[in-house]
Amino acid sequence: MQKTGTFDGMPGSELRHDPVQRRWVIVASERGRRPVEFSRASSVREGGVGRCPFCVGNEGLTPKEIARYGSGPGGDWKVRVVPNKFPALRVEGELRRSAAGQYDRMSGVGAHEVIIETPDHGREMADLPVEHLALVLRAYRDRIVDLRNDTRLKYILVFKNSGLDAGASLPHAHSQVMATPVTPRTVVMELVAAREHYRLKERCIFCDIMEAEHEAGSRVVLMDAHFTTHCPYASRFPFEMVVYPRRHMADYVRCDDELLMHLARHLKEVLRRMNKALNNPGFNMVLHTAPSVNGAPLRSSYWDTLEADWHWHFEILPRISNVAGFEWGTGFYINPTPPEDAAAFMRQVDL
């Protein structure tokens, strides 16, 4: 009998397809061995060196680093990128597909990395200086560019879990990068909606949404010359936000260092407003950018208008409400806070 989380009897993750919901699920039994150290007490420093593997001085507790940013003469760093010690998907191995009765499955090939945002244990993303936050955003870009060289990978998602309620297992500020051999269903739904809108109107749906939000004004949280953040009209959660570049841009990797500096300044203020308004909530942040093949945005007869119809964006989801039975059973979300009220509340925050 095949063991759970194995492919052809080999240990490791695997992807399994649900033919009813038409979605892939990663079965990763090794992830169950992750340490949960979200108590501040568990990372108390002893003799100047803490147990937290992401703290400065504890670099030897992580897998061999992939990249570092902000290195000084003494080997100091501001941002590090390391493989996830308990990956859901692994770069090693061959991408194999097979049937399991009436089901489909794939070997758990992909990538799973951690971007350690700061050497300081108590500092959060919103606390970072703009120049430092720009390095984190640059690491996002660089990892997407590098992982696109692997032709097995179809989508690269950068995301951040901040706080125990948001799914973080360590309190030290970090983001994650996961690359999958399939494009996730949620992203495909957005891609299809964008393509159909463009075929009908020859306009980017995201640009249209931004223009409508700017005209209405009631759901805008922050707007500057380069970026805009608003609470979506049909927000799923209280104080949900989305960040768009104001200039049409399908792919996050097109951001140069100057634009990333502007993004860092904009994102820092958005996060500070959220923290002040909601008393430092846990939150999730995800980056949706263009899918890719061979280091370039995917170009095929199916996504033939991608450059014109797609628009990269960040979603920011404060974790101040719970998803319960109705949401799970229907896909409908019950949001007790109108996005107009949420946006107005954050605009009025005194920083």
Residue 228: beta bridge partners?
Answer: 223, 244
Every domain of the chain and the residues it spans: 75-83+109-351
Query: Above 90 in pLDDT, residue 61?
Result: yes
In terms of pLDDT, which residue wins out, 263 or 32?
A: 263
- CA neighbor of 145 nearest in space, from 247, 290, 244: 290
pLDDT of residue 94: 86
Q: Terminal CA-to-CA distance of the chain, rounded, Å?
A: 60
pLDDT band at 48 (very low <50, low <70, confident <90, very high): very low
| Residue 97: partners with Cβ closer than 8 Å, 6 or more residues away | 104, 105, 106, 107
Cα–Cα dist 225/170, whole Å: 36
pLDDT: which is higher, 292 or 131: 131
What is the band of 36 on the pLDDT scale with cuts at 50, 70, 90?
A: low
pLDDT at 65 over 50: yes
* pLDDT score of 42 more than 60: no
Number of C-alpha atoms within 13 angstroms, CB side, residue 273? 24
For the cut 60, the answer to whether the pLDDT of residue 45 exceeds it is: no
**Cα(104)–Cα(92) distance, integer angstroms:** 21
31 pLDDT band, cuts 50/70/90, is: low
Looking at residue 73, its pLDDT comes to 53
Across the chain, which distance is largest between two alpha carbons, in Å?
65
pLDDT at position 295 over 60: no
Please give the backbone phi and psi of residue 81, each rounded to the nearest 5 degrees, phi first. -120, 125
pLDDT in tens, 102-134: 888 887 788 999 999 999 998 999 999 999 999
Check residue 43 and give its pLDDT.
Answer: 37
C-alpha to C-alpha distance for 301 and 281, rounded to whole angstroms: 43
Cα(111)–Cα(88) distance, integer angstroms = 8
Task: Read off the pLDDT of each residue in 53-74 and give the average, rounded to a whole number.
Answer: 87
Pairing state between β 174-180 and 111-116? antiparallel
Architecture of domain 75-83+109-351: 2-Layer Sandwich (3.30)
Please give the distance of CA 274 from its chain centroid, rounded to a whole number.
18
Q: Is the pLDDT of residue 294 over 80?
A: no
Phi and psi at 284, nearest 5°, equal: -110, 140
Active site residues: 174
Q: What DSSP string describes 243-271?
A: EEESS--S-GGG--HHHHHHHHHHHHHHH
* pLDDT tens per residue, range 195-229: 999 999 999 999 999 999 999 999 999 999 999 99
Beta strands in the chain (DSSP E): 6-7, 10-11, 14-18, 23-27, 67-69, 79-83, 97-100, 103-107, 111-116, 155-162, 174-180, 220-223, 227-230, 241-245, 283-288, 292-293, 296-297, 313-318
**Model pLDDT for residues 167-203, shown as the tens digit of each residue:** 898 999 999 999 999 999 999 999 999 999 999 999 9
For a pLDDT cut of 70, what percent of the chain falls above it?
87
pTM over 0.85: yes
CA distance 188 to 180: 13
CA distance 305 to 290: 12
Lowest-confidence region among 72-76, 184-188, 190-194, 272-276: 72-76
The single-letter DSSP state of residue 315 is E
